[in-house]
A and B are shown apart, each in its own frame.
Chain A
Amino acid sequence: MEKSREHIIHFLKQFQKGKTQLPEIKVGETADKKDLVKKFKFEFERAGGVFIKTTREKIYDDLSKIIYSENARKIFAESFERGIDDIIKSLQADQIITQPHSEKHLSEVDVSITGCDFLVAETGTIVFIHNEKRFKSSLLLPRIHIVIAQENKICPTFEELFAQVGGDFDSILLITGPSRTADIEKVIVQGVHGPQKIYLLLI
Chain B
Amino acid sequence: MKIGLFIPCYIDQFYPEVGLAVVKILKKFGIKFDYPIEQTCCGQPAFNTGYRKEAKVLAEKFLKIFSKFDHIVSPSGSCVSMIRIFYPELIDKDDIAIITKKFFELTEFLVNIMNIDSTGAEFDYTVTYHDSCHALRELGLKTEPRILLKNVKKLKLIEMVNSEDCCGFGGTFSVKFPEISVDMTKHKVNYILNSGADFVTSTDQSCLMQIDGYAKKHGINIKTIHIAQILANF
* Complex contact flag A–B (Cβ < 8 Å): no
Q: Which residues from chain A sit less than 8 Å from chain B, CB to CB?
A: none
Contact surface of B with A, Cβ cutoff 8 Å: none
